Amino acid sequence: MSDLQLEIAASAARLVVEEGLGFGPAKHRALKLLGLPGRTALPGNELVEAQVREYIDIFCADTQPQQLQALREHARDWMQRLADFHPLLGGAVWQGWATRLSDVDLSLFCDDPKAVELALINRNLRYEARSQTGLQGQEVQVLSLHSHCRGLNEDIGVHLRLHDLDGLRGALLPDAQGRPLRGDLRALERLLAGVG
């Protein structure tokens, strides 16, 4: 790792925490802020995540744990509501570095994606649909909505990634460091209870 890579990652981390940007947009914006050419090699997500955690430890240690707890409780509420679709929590809320600007990312698994849309419509919930790359690199539908988080007393984004039921098999595989990339409701309950 070069000093330049570390500097880009640190700048990107600040943008992730302070502005709620995703890793990709934060890295590209960091290049501009640092006055670097667009073709500059970007640091990996692992380095950016390490810098995010360090930034939180230094600048947000007094507020981030409560914000993370509120977001995890909100994710639990959504996972309970959508239990029929085998929800798995991922992203910053699962990994533990979420702040009040982070969204809740859920992967849902079902035979018919329209069933999720119907569940939202039946609850009078408005959402936006778009496509995004899924767990195995295929295109999946993502339903995004705003939801009031009681613990933060503000609206946050909730993103529902719709996968085929078969995709559930490999969804709990760990990353290169052996950490689970996402967890089910039982695993989230353990995190909320301070176990694991």
Torsion of CA 175, 181, 186, 190, to 10 degrees: 80
- Mean pLDDT, to the nearest integer, of 123-149? 90
Indicate the angle between helix axes 3-19 and 23-33, nearest 10 degrees. Answer: 120
Do 71 and 55 belong to one domain? no
The answer, yes or no, to whether residue 106 has pLDDT greater than 90, is: yes
Q: What band does 4 get if pLDDT is binned at 50, 70 and 90?
A: very high
The answer, yes or no, to whether residue 56 has pLDDT greater than 80, is: yes
Do 68 and 161 belong to one domain? yes
Do 70 and 165 belong to one domain? yes
- Mean pLDDT, to the nearest integer, of 178-192? 93
Do 48 and 130 belong to one domain? no
- Mean pLDDT, to the nearest integer, of 88-116? 95
Q: What band does 123 get if pLDDT is binned at 50, 70 and 90?
A: very high
Do 28 and 45 belong to one domain? yes
Residues 122, 117: Cα–Cα separation, whole Å: 9
* Enclosing domain of residue 86: 64-192
The predicted pLDDT at position 72 comes to 98
The predicted pLDDT at position 138 comes to 78
Strands (E), the chain: 88-90, 104-110, 128-133, 139-149, 154-164, 182-183
In angstroms, the Cα distances linking 63 to 66, 182, 196 are 6, 24, 21
The predicted pLDDT at position 103 comes to 96
Task: Please state, for a pLDDT cut of 70, what percent of the chain lies above it.
Answer: 97
Instruction: Give the closest residue to 117 by CA, choosing from 141, 138, 134, 139.
Output: 141
Residues 141, 113: Cα–Cα separation, whole Å: 8
Do 80 and 50 belong to one domain? no
Do 23 and 109 belong to one domain? no
Do 47 and 27 belong to one domain? yes
- Residue 174 structure tokens: 């760990």
The predicted pLDDT at position 196 comes to 55
Q: Which residue has the higher pLDDT, 179 or 67?
A: 67
The predicted pLDDT at position 102 comes to 96
Report the CATH number at residue 125.
3.30.460.10
Residue type, 94: W
